[in-house]
Structure 1
């Protein structure tokens, strides 16, 4: 089964086109390998990608050819993602004083590292 259809069918992405564009950007990995929209997914595969708030890790438990309701969709995968950081944890990372100016290249890399982007 295609990974873009499966991600949409289990409601991890709002639409199939959003899932496909995320896959084309190279941000989604299946078993550690960068995936394209037509990559096949099987039961037991580990799918990872970066959400705006955290890294998502999902293990495929069931293949669904069509989009299903939320209660059935949750049964089709095992979510092994770390918990969503609290608002306070997100706010303290990478804050700069007002008027401090644009960060230097080194400061930007430090901020990205703290936010978990690299």
Structure 2
């Protein structure tokens, strides 16, 4: 863990705690206004302090994280709970789960990969045409 006196940019912190795959993606999200502290969009150069609540827009919800400690270097996934805590309200997480389930069930016919049944029907249709 780093001392609290050290200053860490928000884009570097979000990358270090594995919220974003690259630092440039984290900086881009800040630039687009999807990263906020205290409800205010922040620039990627904003300094993070212990105790800050970081909000990240991840449609259809806004996820919230509390800064527990500062980190400048990327860490393993097992270490992230020591540095950041997900404080997203439970009702938002439930809404996200329901939305994901609804999206899986509402695949329009003809889009995406065929289901097993659709595949069998297609195979049966094309195999029956060869006998003629």
TM-score normalised by the chain length of structure 1: 0.71
Q: Measure the CA separation in 2 of the matches of 1:31 and 1:61.
A: 16
Where do residues 62-101 of structure 1 align in structure 2 (5 Å cutoff)?
62-81=69-88, 82-83=92-93, 84-86=96-98, 87-90=100-103
Q: Measure the CA separation in 2 of the matches of 1:57 and 1:30.
A: 9
Q: Measure the CA separation in 2 of the matches of 1:53 and 1:85.
A: 11
Give the gaps of 5 or more residues in structure 1.
99-118
Superposed displacement of residue 91, structure 1: 5.8
For the pair shown, which has the larger CA radius of gyration, 1 or 2? Answer: 2
Larger fraction in helix: 2
In the alignment of these two chains, the number of paired residues is 95
Superposed displacement of residue 59, structure 1: 0.5
Say if 2:55 is the partner of 1:51.
Answer: no
Which secondary structure state, in structure 2, belongs to the residue aligned with residue 85 of structure 1? helix
Q: Residue 36 of structure 1 aligns with which residue?
A: 43
Q: Residue 24 of structure 2 aligns with which residue?
A: 17
Which secondary structure state, in structure 1, belongs to the residue aligned with residue 15 of structure 2? helix
Q: Residue 104 of structure 1 aligns with which residue?
A: none
Contact 1:53–1:85 under 8 Å retained in 2? no
Cα deviations by residue, 1:47-91 (Å, 9 ceiling, x for unpaired): 002114532100100100111111112221110123232333446
Give the gaps of 5 or more residues in structure 2.
1-7, 110-132
Cα deviations by residue, 1:11-34 (Å, 9 ceiling, x for unpaired): 000000000000011111012221
